[in-house]
């Protein structure tokens, strides 16, 4: 593989693709000679023209898919020519071929792949269904990702990530929100995935700590066991970031009217942000719920600060 191709690789291998999408795509490994090969372009491709011998613009960096139409064409050729066409795919850069629709893979084709150091997979899905589901798996694996030390909860239907220095009460606030009927997404460490097509972020927990919380003085709790399965979410779109800060750190910059529209940049996505000062006696659960509802109203076009300002102007002119 050339250095240019390596630079294009999104960072996962065929082995990881099979592991992530094996059940959903009904995949089985027929020849595993190249399972550690990186997936260079996270897309699937039907090599119809390539099978006829035309390799101009051949998408060799994509996962090749042989469906019923391609199989019918190959079977119209004599045995020697048929094997020659399959061999040519690997000779021109193909590294993985998936036989869709439950098509059998002959021993001769398997041997061609082994000699070429390639991979052959088989799927019981129809070709169109394989493309649809496979595209989702490939996009998920190739999506830009980031991990942040933050706690994320679904509040009033929105994904809300709470961040700040340790000891400000993020986990305790999340616990209170859960008791109010909201749901935990991730405690302490939030994994973020960018949906490039829609330019939005999705938050989830690390697989090792999913559904667990650490509460000082109590220890580790398993949220579904304590509050029920509806108290957790596997993944949630990130709509709002709430940053906790010590009161003395924000006194000089606090926007009392709430007119400022703060955002933070995560993986190139602008996410609405609200800063909440923390001090003894402040009800952070109530504040987070209120901030979330306020954000929903703003998103819908209602701005309380502007409306109050207009009302005061009207009264002054009356």
CATH 3.40.1390.20, the chain: domain bounds: 3-142
- Residue 257's pLDDT band, with cuts at 50, 70 and 90, is low
Is CATH 1.20.1630.10 correct for 145-309?
no
| pLDDT value, residue 258 | 61
Does residue 259 have a pLDDT over 70? no
Mean pLDDT over each residue of the chain, to the nearest integer: 91
pLDDT at 7: 47
Decide: 150 and 192 in contact? Cβ < 8 Å.
no
Q: What is the mean pLDDT of residues 78-101?
A: 96
* CA distance from start to end of the chain: 77
Q: How far, in Å, CA of 65 to CA of 155, rounded?
A: 42
Q: Which of 96-100, 193-197, 201-205, 299-303 has the lowest mean pLDDT?
A: 299-303
Tokens of 34: 């190249």
What confidence category does residue 100 fall into, taking pLDDT thresholds of 50, 70 and 90?
very high
Helix, strand, or coil (residue 311): helix
> Quick check: 116 pLDDT over 90?
yes
Cα-based distances in Å from 297 to 110, 152, 289, 290: 60, 21, 13, 11
Which residue reads 């509806």 in tokens? Answer: 230
Say which range, 109-123, 132-146, 156-170, 295-309, has the weakest mean pLDDT: 295-309
Q: Are strands 190-195 and 262-266 parallel, antiparallel or unpaired?
A: unpaired
Residues of the chain within CATH 3.40.50.300 domain(s) are: 145-309
Q: Identify the sign of the CA torsion 30, 34, 35, 39.
A: negative
pTM of the model: 0.73
Question: Of 185, 188, 178, 186, which Cα lies nearest the Cα of 150?
Answer: 188
Q: Supply the DSSP symbol for 126.
A: -
**CA distances for 208 relative to 34, 204, 211, angstroms:** 29, 11, 9
Q: Are 74 and 85 in contact (CB under 8 A)?
A: yes
272 or 312, greater pLDDT: 272
**From the candidate CATH numbers 3.30.56.10, 3.90.180.10, 3.50.50.60, 3.40.1390.20, the one assigned to the domain spanning 3-142:** 3.40.1390.20
Supply 170's token pair.
């993020």
Tell me the three state secondary structure of residue 27.
strand
Residue 38 CA to residue 35 CA, distance in Å, equals: 8
pLDDT in tens, 140-192: 898 899 999 999 999 999 999 999 999 899 999 999 999 999 999 999 999 99
- Mean pLDDT (whole number) for 121-150: 93
Q: What is the DSSP letter of 304?
A: H
Q: Is the per-residue pLDDT at 1 higher than 60?
A: no
What is the C-alpha radius of gyration for the chain, rounded to an integer number of angstroms? 27
Question: Token digits for 300?
Answer: 């819908």
Q: Is the pLDDT of residue 199 over 80?
A: yes
């Amino acid at each position: 593989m050339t250095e240019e191709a390596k630079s294009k690789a999104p960072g996962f291998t065929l082995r990881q693709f099979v592991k992530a999408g094996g059940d959903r795509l009904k995949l089985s490994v027929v020849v595993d000679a190249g399972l550690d090969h990186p997936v260079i372009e996270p897309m699937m491709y039907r090599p119809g023209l390539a099978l006829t011998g035309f390799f101009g613009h051949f998408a060799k960096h994509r996962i090749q898919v042989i469906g019923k139409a391609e199989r019918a064409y190959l079977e119209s050729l004599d045995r020697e020519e048929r094997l020659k066409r399959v061999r040519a795919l690997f000779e021109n850069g193909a590294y993985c071929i998936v036989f869709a629709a439950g098509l059998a893979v002959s021993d001769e084709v398997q041997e061609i792949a082994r000699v070429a150091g390639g991979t052959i997979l088989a799927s019981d899905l129809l070709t169109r269904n394989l493309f649809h589901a496979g595209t989702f798996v490939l996009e998920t694996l190739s999506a830009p990702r980031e991990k942040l030390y933050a706690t994320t909860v679904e509040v009033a239907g929105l994904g809300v990530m709470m961040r700040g220095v340790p000891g400000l009460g993020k986990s305790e606030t999340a616990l209170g929100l859960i008791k109010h009927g909201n749901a935990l997404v991730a405690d302490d460490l939030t994994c973020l995935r960018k949906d490039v097509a829609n330019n939005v972020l999705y938050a989830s927990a690390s697989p090792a700590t999913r559904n667990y919380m650490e509460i000082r003085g109590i220890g580790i709790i398993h949220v579904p066991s304590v509050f029920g399965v509806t108290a957790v979410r596997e993944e949630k779109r990130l709509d709002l970031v709430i940053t906790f800060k010590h009161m003395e750190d924000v006194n000089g910059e606090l926007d009392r009217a709430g007119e400022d529209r703060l955002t933070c940049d995560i993986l190139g996505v602008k996410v609405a942000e609200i800063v909440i000062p923390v001090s003894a006696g402040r009800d952070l659960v109530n504040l987070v719920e209120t901030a979330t509802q306020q954000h929903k109203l703003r998103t819908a076009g209602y701005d309380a600060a502007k409306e109050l300002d207009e009302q005061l102007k009207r009264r002054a002119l009356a």
